[in-house]
Amino acid sequence: MKKKELGIVISHEQLTEDIFSLRLEAGNIAEEAVPGQFVMVYSRDSGKQLGRPISLCGIDKEKNQIRLVYRVTGPGTGTEEFSTLSEGERIFVLGPLGNGFPLEKARGKRLFAVGGGIGIPPLLETSKQFGEPVTAVLGYRGGALFLKEEFEPYGEVLIATEDGSAGIRGNVLDAIRNHAERPEMIFACGPMPMLRALASYAEEEKIPCYISLEERMACGIGACLGCVCETRETDPHTHVHNRRICKEGPVFLSTEVVL
C-alpha cells in the first residue's frame, strides 16, 4: 500500500559527476517495497508541486531504509535540489509505487539483469533478492562505472562501454551476444533504444524479457494518465491500446508493449 511519508536523510554520496546515492529512513515504504518499484520524491520548493519518480536501488527492511541512485538532470530541476540534501534533513516521499520484476517466474532460470546508464540502479536490489547467481550486463557511455562492484557478490558482471574504456566496446546486446551462455530470462531497465533492441533479440530467441520503462510522471498513482504507453492488446477495462506506466508498470513483459 503506497504511503507518503517524511523521509530522513541517512547518507548522501556523489558517485560520479552527475549521479548521487541517497539513503533515506522511510520505514513504511521499506516495509512493503519490492525490487523494480519506484517512489515519487517531492521538492521542498512550494513552486514545484509534482514529484520526481526515482527507482529503488536498495531496500533495507531491517533498518527501515531505502536507497535511491539518481542523475541530476540539469540546473533548477528537482534532482538538482535533491543533490544538496544533507544528513538529517527531511523530504517527502510517496511509495512504493508500480509493479516490480517477477522474481518467482525467474527461479531456476539463467537470469540476465541488463541495465543501461541510470537504468542500472533498480537491477541491484533485484539481483540481491533473486537469491541465485545472476549475470549482470551493465552498459555505460564510459568514465566511472558506478555500482559495478556492488553487483559482483551476486554473480558474473559483464561491462559494455560506448568508448571502449572498459569491458567490451559497444552496447549491452553486444556483450550478451559475445557471452558463452545464453540467457533464459531477461530483466532490463535503460534507455528506449536499448530496450527496443533487447525486446527484438528476446523475441527472436524466444526468451521471456521483462522491461522497466522510464517516463515523465505527474501523479505517480495512475490518476492523471500522463505516462501511458502503447500496448499490443486492448485494456479489458478501457478498451484502448495503452497501459499506465506508473500503475500497471513500470515493469512489463516486452511482448505486451509497443516500443
DSSP string, 130-188: H-S--EEEEEESSS--TTHHHHGGGS-EEEEETTSSSSEES-HHHHHHTSSS--SEEEE
Of 1, 61, 51, nearest to 26 by C-alpha is: 61
Confidence class of residue 214 from pLDDT cuts 50, 70 and 90?
Answer: confident
pLDDT at 211: 98
Q: What is the mean pLDDT of residues 112-136?
A: 97
Segment 136-154 mean pLDDT: 96
| Percent of the chain whose predicted confidence (pLDDT) is above 70 | 97
pLDDT at 225 over 90: no
Q: Is the pLDDT of residue 216 over 80?
A: no
3 state SS of 34: coil
CA-to-CA dists, residue 101 to 10, 74, 212, 252, angstroms: 27, 29, 8, 8
Percent with pLDDT over 90 in the chain: 78
Average pLDDT for residues 69-87, to the nearest whole number?
A: 93
Average pLDDT, the chain: 93
Q: Is the pLDDT of residue 30 over 70?
A: yes
d(CA 128, CA 151): 8
Q: How large is the average pLDDT for residues 239-249?
A: 81
pLDDT at 200: 97
Domains of the chain, earliest start first: 3-96 (2.40.30.10), 103-212 (3.40.50.80)
DSSP string, 52-89: EEEE-SEEETTTTEEEEEEE--STTSHHHHHTT--TT-
Is the pLDDT at 44 greater than 80, yes or no?
yes
47 pLDDT above the threshold of 70 = no
pLDDT value, residue 239: 67
Q: Report the pLDDT value the prediction gives residue 154, as an integer from 0 to 100.
A: 98
pLDDT digits (tens, 9 = 90+) for 88-107: 999 999 999 999 999 999 99
Q: Cα separation of 13 and 85, whole Å?
A: 10
Q: What does residue 248 show for φ and ψ, rounded to 5 degrees? A: -80, -20
- Residue 242 clears pLDDT 90, i.e. is over it: no
pTM: 0.94
Do β-strands 90-97 and 38-41 pair in parallel, antiparallel, or remain unpaired? Answer: antiparallel
Work out the pLDDT band at 176, boundaries 50, 70, 90.
Answer: very high
* Average pLDDT of span 142-158: 96
- Residues facing 157 on adjacent strands: 136
